[in-house]
């Protein structure tokens, strides 16, 4: 019972301090104000999380764009002969994949 009385006194003291600082005398109004503030904080927390997700997505997009730029700069620096060789290599790879697909389809 002593513990309960001390807890009540601590809570009453806290409400008295809140009343002095805010000028709000009604306990219900203090509770309502805290609940509204908590709802606003939760809303802001969700908004910040949403912004962080957007930032992560934009960072990933920037990374991909940077890789594409590097790829295009590399292609730009290649000579015409190198470009033709790269194209021929890609065409050979395509033909190999097509042949593998035909084999797999035949096996199926």
The pLDDT tens digits for 41-99 are: 999 999 999 999 999 999 999 999 999 999 888 888 778 888 888 889 999 999 999 99
Residue 22: partners with Cβ closer than 8 Å, 6 or more residues away: 30, 33
pLDDT score recorded for residue 20: 87
DSSP 31: H
pLDDT score recorded for residue 65: 97
Sign of the torsion angle spanned by Cα atoms 14, 16, 22, 25: positive
pLDDT score recorded for residue 25: 80
Write down the domain spans for the chain: 25-77, 79-108
pLDDT score recorded for residue 78: 78
The pLDDT tens digits for 2-24 are: 888 898 899 889 888 888 888 88
Distance between CA atoms of residues 81 and 30, nearest Å: 78
Number of other CB atoms surrounding residue 15 within 10 Å:
15
What are the tokens at 4? 């309960």
What are the tokens at 15? 């409400």
């Amino acid at each position: 019972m002593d513990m309960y009385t001390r807890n009540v006194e601590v809570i009453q003291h806290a409400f008295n301090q809140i009343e002095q600082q805010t000028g709000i005398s009604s306990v219900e109004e203090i509770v309502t104000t805290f609940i509204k503030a908590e709802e606003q904080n939760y809303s802001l927390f969700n908004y910040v999380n949403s912004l962080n997700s957007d930032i992560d997505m934009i960072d990933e997009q920037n990374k991909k764009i940077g890789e594409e730029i590097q790829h295009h700069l590399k292609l730009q620096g290649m000579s015409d002969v190198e470009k033709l060789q790269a194209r021929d290599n890609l065409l050979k790879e395509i033909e190999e994949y097509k042949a593998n697909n035909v084999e797999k389809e035949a096996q199926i």
